[in-house]
Structure formats: structure tokens, C-alpha cells
């Protein structure tokens, strides 16, 4: 049941909705290859900075996506509310 999963904290779109398209897969491979190349050329201290920067960029992006999701969800709920409140003659008799 969705409500039970939501209550228990088992719904996490960021973990469950991974893009399957080929462009995403290519980009992921490109990123991993770039990080491996950097790791072979940089000192451990420099690589630590790169990894921290990478983690910070990912965290920032996740915060942006979460805010956009919340805004979109709220907008969808407001749209449903507005549609429900439209004065259709047959809606009041149900």
C-alpha cells in the first residue's frame, strides 16, 4: 500500500527512479571515465578536492531537484483543487 510505504519512509524517488535512456548511460560512463583519468593524474590531496567538489555539486543538484519536485507537486494539487471547485452544474448533484 502506498500510504504505508510513505509512512515508513520507503518511497524515495531519487533512489527508485533512475533514467534508463541511453544518453544518461553514456553521460554516466563519461563522468566515471573522467574521474578515473583525474585520479591517475592528480595527487591524492588534489583528488580529495575533486571528490569533495563532485559531492557538493551532487548535493546541490539533489536539493534543486527536491525543491522542483515539491513545487511541481504543490502546483498539481492546486490545479486539482481549482478544477474541483469549478461550478459544473452536474457536479453538485452527485
Which tens digit of pLDDT belongs to each residue from 25-54? 999 999 999 999 999 999 999 999 999 999
Q: Which of 24-28, 81-85, 89-93 has the lowest mean pLDDT?
A: 89-93
- Per the structure, how many domains does the chain have? 1
Whether residue 93 has pLDDT greater than 60: no
**Residue 91: inside a domain, yes or no?**
no
Whether residue 94 has pLDDT greater than 60: no
Q: What percent of the residues of the chain are helix, what percent strand, and what percent coil, each to the nearest 5?
A: 75, 0, 25
**Residue 74: inside a domain, yes or no?**
yes
pTM given for the model: 0.67
Question: Which residues form the domain of 9?
Answer: 2-84
Whether residue 80 has pLDDT greater than 60: yes
Cα dihedral 14/65/73/8 (nearest 10)? 30
Contact indicator for 39, 47 with CB cutoff of 8 Å = yes
- The CA distance from 74 to 71, in Å, is 5
Confidence grade of residue 91 (pLDDT, cut at 50, 70, 90):
low
**Residue 65: inside a domain, yes or no?**
yes
**Between the CA of residue 39 and those of 5, 13, 42, 46, 74, what are the distances in Å?**
40, 31, 6, 9, 42
Amino acid at each position: 500500500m502506498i500510504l504505508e510505504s510513505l509512512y515508513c519512509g520507503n518511497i524515495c524517488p531519487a533512489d527508485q527512479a533512475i533514467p534508463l535512456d541511453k544518453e544518461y548511460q553514456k553521460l554516466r560512463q563519461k563522468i566515471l571515465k573522467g574521474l578515473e583519468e583525474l585520479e591517475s593524474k592528480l595527487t591524492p590531496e588534489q583528488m580529495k578536492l575533486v571528490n569533495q567538489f563532485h559531492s557538493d555539486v551532487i548535493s546541490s543538484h539533489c536539493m534543486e531537484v527536491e525543491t522542483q519536485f515539491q513545487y511541481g507537486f504543490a502546483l498539481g494539487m492546486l490545479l486539482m483543487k481549482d478544477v474541483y471547485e469549478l461550478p459544473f452544474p452536474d457536479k453538485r448533484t452527485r
